[in-house]
Amino acid sequence: MLMVDIIRKKRDGNALSKEEIDFFINGYVKGEIPDYQVSALMMAVFFKGMNDEETHLLTDAMLHSGEVLDLSAISGFKVDKHSTGGVGDKTSLVLTPMVASLGVPVAKMSGRGLGHTGGTIDKLESFKGFSTSITNEQFINNVNTIGIAIMGQTKDLAPADKLLYALRDVTATVDNMSLIASSIMSKKLAAGADGIVLDVKSGSGAFMKTDEDAFELAKKMVSIGKQAGVRTMAVISDMDQPLGRNVGNAMEVTEAIDTLRGKGPEDLKELCLTLGSYMVYFAGKAGSTKEARSLLEDSLSSGKALDKLAQFIEAQGGSGEDVYHPENLPQAKEKTDLTADDDCYVSSIMSEEVGIASLLLGGGRRSKEDVIDLSVGIHLDKKVGDKCQKGETVATLYGNDKKKMEDAFERLRGAYSFSKDPVEAGKLIKGIVE
């Protein structure tokens, strides 16, 4: 079999076979097929597309290109959650302890932030001493003993995805639905869960800018999961404005803790209850998603979910006391207010621009080597539909470097649009794909 024949076949719009997909994935991982040939194939896929069978076959080949975690030593139905990424998306910090507090084992792999979206691991490292660098044995033991563990993705998990994504990133072939779906699902399936709940973001701060694209991606990923024998569903949620009111690592942790105390923003709470109800239902802990939601609400009101977060932080090297005293988390030294020029309503917030403003403060990475400032961030005092009086604070920036704060302030100012007339915010939950 020759790689040039596979490139030509896809260039001409024909479907690739399992043997051809396995050949190029295995050859690329082993270093036997050069970047320039795989780049040519990715561009052919970008323009000619892949049908559903090809997408499933590509996912399977990437999934089996390296280690597949065996979680059979963990008792119970293991449910994982994945978000396609957004601004202010601290969902995992609320969702995982909430679900684990009901006896559902949560064995999750998470990543770091890059660009305008934050990463769960960075946020968790706001707890001094906390580490996701744990062994597979520790990972499994923590899930069996306290019901929850989160670790970073190992280099041996779906290595084909890492190689392909790096190549797609520099050859302008990222934005293809089949390649995106196979990239996400190969990693999720390799992580060994019995069920997967997906949060597919749609809007200005998301990878999928339109609802149509978000639904298409959700359907592809759910189909891949079911084909692999893993129970899978997706929630399409709004990212036309940031989730919650805090953006920035330690600030998002504080907001997550507030939510577990029953005092957080309604949109964050609602999204976590929606996602969590499917996780609990999938695991057989409730007879319906409605019953699961009620159990989750009880977990919040009783404090069980908050206590579970403290146990989890303690088990991975942090101080559980910081969960009950979030004032111990990193805090910035300076703050600047963005105020309203006139009486008005917030008509829109460009999520991506808010994320970039946080990055400029030092709260994100331009490259994987960058060191982030966990203390900086932005609080959105006003969101879409909120009324503002002249001189009233619309948003507050927290930082440690005046020049960075000036640059971030201008970016944040440009993210907000205002109207003289009342405006309604869009729906948070745009749809569900089961």
Active site residues: 82, 161, 168, 183, 187
In whole angstroms, what is the distance from residue 310 CA to residue 395 CA? 30
Q: 């069978």: which residue's tokens?
A: 53
In whole angstroms, what is the distance from residue 219 CA to residue 235 CA? 10
In whole angstroms, what is the distance from residue 67 CA to residue 382 CA? 46
Three-class SS state of 349? strand
Q: Tell me how long the chain is.
A: 434
- Residues whose CB falls within 8 Å of the CB of residue 268, separated by 6 or more in sequence, listed in order: 90, 91, 94, 243, 244, 255, 256, 259
In whole angstroms, what is the distance from residue 364 CA to residue 115 CA? 6
Query: What amino acid is encoded at 341 in this protein?
Result: D
The dihedral of CA 371, 138, 224, 54: what is its sign? positive
Question: Do the beta carbons of residue 83 and residue 201 sit within 8 Å?
Answer: yes
In whole angstroms, what is the distance from residue 52 CA to residue 313 CA? 41
In whole angstroms, what is the distance from residue 122 CA to residue 329 CA? 13
Cα angle vertex 298, ends 293, 304, to 5°?
120
- Residues whose CB falls within 8 Å of the CB of residue 112, separated by 6 or more in sequence, listed in order: 119, 121, 122, 152, 365, 368
Three-class SS state of 329? coil
Query: What amino acid is encoded at 270 in this protein?
Result: E
Element housing 429 (H / E): strand 429-433
Angle between helices 52-63 and 177-190 (to 10 degrees): 40
Question: Do the beta carbons of residue 9 and residue 141 sit within 8 Å?
Answer: no
User: Around Cβ 173, how many Cβ atoms within 10 Å?
Assistant: 19
